[in-house]
Structure 1
């Protein structure tokens, strides 16, 4: 029997044994060739920004809705789109429920509260129902949320992105002309590691980074008035310097922010004159100037 020779050439052609690119970059095959939708604007919306954390539990949705409300307080026609299919938060944060009506053009009509328009998967499924869908169903739902909502004319739309850097985020960045992204993180290293992944993702898909927000930066005891940096103090500012990104501001760890969110009255509405609300307003003003609004 002749001796059989095995070659490792095909394996060596890959960057790693699984054949996955080490760079983590999305495939660069032309979109028309893959039969995918082309990147386009969201109808009747002037500016679209994404609020991302790439990690759950850092307060991204709370910040996103307070930013949208801050834009509205500055006289802008503002809206928020909840792109988290599996764990939508916007209905709770805005104290809204009920199925959206359809317009004469068969488009979803947003629900409104506190002067801003909103759309979320949470309006389309029962509050206690689990969305048990595979990827194709998720992408179809996301496509409808992005391009089948009748916003009726907005100056700015805030996209509340789910955690991670996967299908949903890639679909949004490849199908929507984003005017910028805001990264939210706590100062803790374990959160910052994922935040940096979010920075890398937006850089790879050529979405401008408007800056970073440091959440839960400091806790002041209501009894002794002593302040403590529970999660660290300078993590986000350090990463801003490392990646040449603007530091947009600090949001303190305060029980009222959490309480306001849980009862569906965000801080900017519940405590408009508080230092916490003014911090949200200041961050929104920086973003507004960057966008030319």
Structure 2
């Protein structure tokens, strides 16, 4: 069990949240008991996340902070300085996890180079763990060749009841690489699914709680975001929900390759 790479099963996402909205979301989340926060350089909200954490009064050692390096900063001479900028914005001298956000467009910076630079950031104590995001199997193999599977804490990928990404998940698991699921609720689309609705009703739970519990029962970390206090509080309760094997099987049958995030020029050839 590689405990040094353990990442919290439940965290707070900040994608698309800006300015006072992200400050309020993070402060409310921390007040409610969230302790893992996920951000990224490209979100343009690291400084606000840092401000919210500072104002929350929660001790830094009780938090798990993740950020992601943007594609413009993958070059050997740019990655570490860009992470130092992120740390300054986040008001911390070290993050808990740093991810490569997307594959390098057109392979402009080879995987071995940016993974090497990320490993160097870890060696310098700027981040406790390193990992990748939006990597297919071929890219994971290259990352493993560069730094070793044991160094890669997670692959953060789009994963929902409608996009279960089983090939990538199975390969990552075979290498001991954890999966973090983003867009777990499929932009809210999965909340409308009648199968999910029926399971939620049977458990006296919300559809969001059912979906988050499903992902966590499969061993994935989840990072849902919300700007509403009641949703932030409600989502947290997914950690207490236990789904039956029958529930899990019904959700497994919802797979439809329903990918929502596939940016031109960034996305790899998905497995």
TM-score range, shorter chain: 0.3 to 0.5
TM-score (norm 1): 0.38
Larger radius of gyration: 1
- Which of the pair is proportionally richer in helix? 2
Structure number with the higher strand fraction is 1
